[in-house]
Amino acid sequence: MQIDLISIFPEFFNSLNLSLLGKAQDSGILKINVHDLRDFTTDKHKTVDDAPYGGGPGMVMKADVWGLAIDSVLKKSKTKPVLVVPTPSGKVFNQKMAQDLSNEDHLIFINGRYEGIDSRVVQFYQSDQRIKAVKEISIGDYVLAGGEVASIVMLEAISRLIPGVLGNEDSTSDDSFALGSMEKLVEGPVFTRPENWRGLFVPPVLLSGDHQKIAQYRLEEAKLRTKANRPDLGEDN
């Protein structure tokens, strides 16, 4: 999969070279390109924002600069990309969306700042034949200062679903929220050595070797934690 990210803070994405995503780049499964939006400005002050039409607080990012940046990435695109636009007014991200996006060949993440991006940018590319789709996505009901962190969240969730990214010891089959899983349950408690930590002992059933009893224990604990923390998940169970 090819991934392009455009932002006025490109260094934000240095973390994509670590861990899973770093290895996936080394193995060629992922090709990640980061672009500085200011490289597409046309004035000596590298201006990317301006006052909002209609007044109001803050500044809005300029459509003309974003257009030059996105077109430049499209010129190098081999397949029709999906534009992902993190925004608090988008559809809320979930595992199904991560699964769907993990099947794409090329994603372009449009990372806004300030009060957001001139809305004509999304409007323009929604009808652009070079683009497969424009997806405005929110990662949750809280306000961030920009799109970069949201893009990293989505990229981690998407990339680990791409075959070969997760080591064979890890699998997504027992993921919480995994699609098609009968019950949407959150993860239960986990334990490792030492058996006794500060007087707190690992539940004995986990030391019993009785795999049926262990599976039963884990299911019960997952249900208890789901009931306690995510009763909303139970609704469609």
> Does 147 interact with ligand JD8 (rule: CB under 6 A)?
yes
CB 48 within 8 A of CB 38: yes
Cα–Cα distances in Å, from 230 out to 40, 80, 141, 224? 44, 38, 16, 10
Among 113, 135, 184, 218, binds ligand JD8 (CB under 6 A): 113
Angle between helices 148-159 and 95-102 (to 10 degrees): 70
38, 50, 88, 156: the active-site residue = 88
Q: Is 136 helix (H, G, I), strand (E, B) or coil?
A: strand
Tokens of 181: 């899983």
> Does 155 interact with ligand JD8 (rule: CB under 6 A)?
no
Active site residue 169: no
Among 11, 39, 115, 220, binds ligand JD8 (CB under 6 A): 115
Residue number, 67 or 146, with CB nearest to ligand JD8: 146
What number of helices (H) and strands (E) belong to the chain? 7, 9
Residue number, 88 or 188, with CB nearest to ligand JD8: 88
Residue number, 115 or 220, with CB nearest to ligand JD8: 115
> Does 88 interact with ligand JD8 (rule: CB under 6 A)?
yes
Among 45, 53, 143, 236, binds ligand JD8 (CB under 6 A): 143
The answer for residues whose C-beta is within 8 angstroms of residue 174's C-beta and 6 or more apart is none
Tokens of 35: 């672009």
Active site residue 136: no
> Does 145 interact with ligand JD8 (rule: CB under 6 A)?
yes
Among 41, 87, 159, 226, binds ligand JD8 (CB under 6 A): 87
In angstroms, rounded to a whole number, what is the distance separating the alpha carbons of residues 6 and 35?
5
Active site residue 115: yes
Active site residue 175: yes
Whether the bond between 194 and the residue before it is cis, its omega within 30 degrees of 0, is yes
Task: State the nearest-atom distance from the C-beta of 95 to ligand JD8, in Å.
Answer: 16
Instruction: Compute the Cα dihedral for 114, 115, 119, 125 and give only its sign.
Output: positive
Q: Is 58 helix (H, G, I), strand (E, B) or coil?
A: coil
> Does 182 interact with ligand JD8 (rule: CB under 6 A)?
no
Q: Is 176 helix (H, G, I), strand (E, B) or coil?
A: coil
Residue number, 49 or 104, with CB nearest to ligand JD8: 49
50, 175, 187, 221: the active-site residue = 175
Query: Catalytic site residues?
Result: 88, 115, 160, 175
Residues at the interface with ligand JD8 (CB under 6 A) = 86-88, 112-113, 115-116, 138-140, 142-147, 150
